[in-house]
Amino acid sequence: MSLSLRRLFRKEKQERRILRQIERSGDRLQPEYHRATPECPHPERWHMFDSMTAEAEVLEFLRTIVTTIKPELVVETGTFSGISTLWIAEGLKANGRGRVITCEFDYEIYENARARIQASGLAQWIELRNESSLDMKVDGTIDLFFSDSDMPIREQEIRRFLPQMNPFGLILMHDASSHLKIVREAALKLEQDGLISAVLLPTPRGLVVAQKREGRK
């Protein structure tokens, strides 16, 4: 088995293991345990449901961003169990408009998210797709883009969807801590290339809030 296939297999196993854990014990809020970083020395002050789902405070932030900028179209990459999608959908419901398109490329994980979304009462705001973010085609202008899939492909994702980004909209890149590195470096590279302006929020796993440079007035 090649190194990249082995890495992918290990990662899928980890995600499915966490899903099984959620099935056993439900969504349980606990202190965040991502390691301390210079920008976030006290991660235990944050909360999380599990190590895949965005921190609880980031989920609140997502909903608030949605109610603040009132997007027509939100795109999320990496659905996992669907929790972040539901927080985005809560914001859309509060706004009374808009929709979120979210993609999950692992079929078993997608099916699990589908069941959660169906049971949530928020399905009307959500379009869940079983496909890769690198193949996904979306029509129209994206007002809010939440990049939360596989870390090594985030730069590719942003480059792929950038032409469709509303220059007044927002790009969020999760897992951008200085420890996880790869997403942080991707954001800084995109900034150096003059494509985005980025702010690095000091959360446990790191969150980039960015905006496309082209067309900004």
Ligand X SMILES: C[S@@+](CC[C@H](N)C(=O)[O-])C[C@H]1O[C@@H](n2cnc3c(N)ncnc32)[C@H](O)[C@@H]1O
User: Which positions lie near ligand X, rule CB under 6 A?
Assistant: 15, 52-54, 77-78, 80-81, 83-84, 103-106, 109, 132-134, 148-150, 153
CB of 140 to ligand X, least distance (A): 20
Nearer to ligand X, 49 or 190 (CB): 49
Nearest residue relative to ligand X (C-beta)? 78
Nearer to ligand X, 62 or 210 (CB): 62
Nearer to ligand X, 40 or 54 (CB): 54
- Beta-carbon contacts of residue 59 (< 8 Å; ≥ 6 apart): 53, 83, 84, 87
In angstroms, the CA 159 to CA 61 distance is: 24
CB of 200 to ligand X, least distance (A): 18
CB of 149 to ligand X, least distance (A): 4
Q: Report the alpha-carbon angle 129-131-134, nearest 5.
A: 125
Nearer to ligand X, 153 or 195 (CB): 153
CB of 165 to ligand X, least distance (A): 18
Nearer to ligand X, 46 or 80 (CB): 80
CB of 54 to ligand X, least distance (A): 4
